[in-house]
Structure 1
Amino acid sequence: MQASHKTVLSIALPMILSNISQPVIGLVDTAVVGHLGQVKYLGAIAVAGAVFAFLFTIFNFLRMSATGRAAQFFGAGDDPGMGRVLGQGLALAAVLGMALILAQWPIAGAGFRLMAADPAVTAEAQRYFAIRIWAAPSVLANFVLVGWFIGLHRARAALALNLMLNITNIVLDLLFVPVLGMTTDGVALASLIAEILAMCVGLVIAFRFMGGWRMIRDAGRLFPGHELMLLLRMNRDLLIRTVALMSVFLFFTA
């Protein structure tokens, strides 16, 4: 039974860290700006952090679907299938991430109106949001990468990716704010760089694991018809579930 417990823990721990990575980034940002001596900075990170936590949690289905589908192909020993799962997930993450960037102002407006914060706090929150939202494609890509690694029983890679993301964010927060004298823009920039760096490292690990250019060679068969419909149905159901769950939380906390 010890071995089975260890196996479960090796899968559960990266998933737990992945689930809390976005709130942890917000908490670290809050802790750093809390030493600036002005309440508006603290309030801005709290407000914008809540919006981002809700926004990105909605897209957790990318990680869940990547885990399940990658595990199926891994069990079948289907290397091209494993590569397609990653490629499909990353393509979907890129499209959704760019959609969030294009819709950033309506999203920010609705979120901040719902929070009903002080005008000075809202102004700083918008400043933070306008920078960090550019990390959306990287955040969603990291969801896919973590889910894919776990599905392929590469939990250590998923764990390392999450740890690197949060450690990089902490280091850059301390560099940009106390050292360089930045405020909300500094912590937002730190989060943006940390997410992009984590995505790049994750892609390199995945690229090497799948045999380098062999994964690129299958790009022409990235979306077979039956797999595309399965992907859309699976993600649709997971999205509805997550939106319903998060809407309940938002209703009671707003």
Structure 2
Amino acid sequence: MNRKILQLAIPNIISNVTIPLLGLVDMALMGHLDSEVYIGAVSLGTVIFNFIYWGFSFLRMGTSGFTAQSYGEGDEAESFSILARSLTVSTVISVLIILLQVPIEWISFAAIGGSAEVETLAREYFSIRIWAAPATLGLYALNGWFLGMQNARYVMITSILANVFNLIFSFIFVYFLQMNSAGVAWGTVIAQYTGILTGLFLLRKKYKPLFAHYQQSLVFNLAALKRFFKVNSDIFIRTFCVIFVFTFFTSKSASINDHILAVNSILIQFLLLFSFFIDGFAFAGEALAGKYKGEQRKDLFYELTRRLFVWGIGLALAFSFLFLVGNKFVIGLLTNQDGLYDTASHFIVWVILTPLITFSSFVWDGIYIGVTASREMRNSMLAATLLLFAPSFYFLQDVLGNHALWLAMMLFMLGRGIFQAILFPKVLAKSFH
């Protein structure tokens, strides 16, 4: 079992780690310019697109779970129909995003605070990056399908290539063409289209025989579409809670001042860095949990769950230690502004605790997505958001200030894991008959 987990987890970790590294490089590029407003601009712009794109991340998660189950059942026709279904939906959504970009921009900046200078730069970032929507959402669907087909290697290839292009072009645009935060946006656009074109090439190369299974009646089957949107609507609500929490975190940081916004933007990179490592095991959980549900192997599913938590605990301990001894070095890479580091040092304790508090929520997400236990995942997320995150911040903000934001974030992540653990027996009973 460990070998199967690692065969899927390692390629996902390799591909995932390029994403936080990219975020770190973007932050470092902005952090070494002559003003902290560039960090704030990229942070605000990024959180808007997180809100937009994470909201449609069901295109990856739902596709992964459904495909893995079809793979376990040996149903090639349905597996390919799931891909066609997801790509069709992603195309329609991305076109709507581009057509509605003006009201989306207005609503986004009305909801998120920030100084006038930061907002002006963030609007420029938005107007450029919005054009990556078709490629970004298409990659969600395609990578989810690859993962469901137990092919983490193709996900790794597309992710690494896209992010390498992002790093190269962002560096060129920022340092050689002096485009500042706009250069980071253009780098992202180019990278996303590189990724989707690479993914489509790999799809044709390996899975061309499956194209023969394409039937419009299967792709647009009413029962299949109803199930697709039912599960994905639950995932959408679940993801909306994540978006709300992270958007709220950034917005409240910005409402304090540009300095705290920059500090929190730097420190949240530690959480993102850990998340992309632990997500490698969560993605392995998605693929294998779905496969074992399709095969109706409850014994293997139970063993998978146990092994994933062993790996999760080990990874959390390792990262907490690394954050304890290496936080000064990482922050120094991200910014050379002494004032930012001095302030960040007051909140390092949250960075150190992050892996230990958050790992279980990521592991459970992978298992729940694999067996498409979307309703239970949705309910646990709503409970963590409404019962823990929001009340803890509002009751403690006047006393703890910025510490209240971090405490609320940690309670949210911890609560997700606890609520999903409570619901696990119900998920097990529903998935295996």
- TM-score normalized with structure 1 length: 0.87
Greater shift, 179-188 or 13-22, is seen at 13-22
Share of identical aligned residues, percent?
34
Q: Does 1:242 align with 2:239?
A: yes
Greater shift, 16-25 or 171-180, is seen at 16-25
Greater shift, 156-165 or 35-44, is seen at 35-44
Structure 1 match to 2:211: 215
Gap regions ≥5 residues in structure 2:
252-433
Structure 1 match to 2:402: none
Q: Does 1:111 align with 2:111?
A: no
The CA deviation at 1:59 is 1.7
The CA deviation at 1:114 is 3.0
Inter-partner Cα distance in structure 1 for 2:215 and 2:191: 28
Q: Does 1:183 align with 2:176?
A: no
Q: Does 1:150 align with 2:133?
A: no
What amino acid is aligned across from residue 104 of structure 2 in structure 1?
I
Inter-partner Cα distance in structure 2 for 1:135 and 1:18: 20
Structure 1 match to 2:3: 6
RCO higher in structure (CA 8 A, sep ≥6): 1
Partner SS, residue 214 of structure 2: helix
Q: Does 1:54 align with 2:67?
A: no
Inter-partner Cα distance in structure 1 for 2:17 and 2:51: 12
Partner SS, residue 202 of structure 2: helix
Inter-partner Cα distance in structure 2 for 1:227 and 1:250: 33
What amino acid is aligned across from residue 51 of structure 2 in structure 1?
F
Partner SS, residue 116 of structure 1: coil
Q: Does 1:73 align with 2:73?
A: no
Say if 2:59 and 2:137, in contact at 8 Å, map to a contact too.
yes
Gap regions ≥5 residues in structure 1:
none
What amino acid is aligned across from residue 200 of structure 1 in structure 2?
L
Inter-partner Cα distance in structure 1 for 2:77 and 2:90: 20
What amino acid is aligned across from residue 70 of structure 1 in structure 2?
T
Inter-partner Cα distance in structure 1 for 2:231 and 2:55: 14
Say if 1:165 and 1:198, in contact at 8 Å, map to a contact too.
yes
Inter-partner Cα distance in structure 1 for 2:52 and 2:14: 18
Aligned partner of 2:29 among 25, 32, 54: 32
Partner deviation per Cα, 1:87-137 (whole Å, 9 max, x = no partner): 111111111112222222222223223332111211111011111011112
Greater shift, 139-148 or 181-190, is seen at 181-190
Partner deviation per Cα, 1:6-39 (whole Å, 9 max, x = no partner): 3223434565677777665444323223333233
Q: Tell me the matched-pair count.
A: 250
Aligned-residue RMSD, C-alpha: 2.4
Partner SS, residue 208 of structure 2: coil
The CA deviation at 1:188 is 0.8
Cα distance, 1:22–1:131 mapped onto 2, change above 3 Å: farther
Partner deviation per Cα, 1:205-225 (whole Å, 9 max, x = no partner): 11222226x527725332122
Inter-partner Cα distance in structure 2 for 1:148 and 1:138: 15
Inter-partner Cα distance in structure 1 for 2:69 and 2:157: 23
Inter-partner Cα distance in structure 2 for 1:82 and 1:96: 22
- TM-score normalized with structure 2 length: 0.53
Structure number, greater radius of gyration: 2
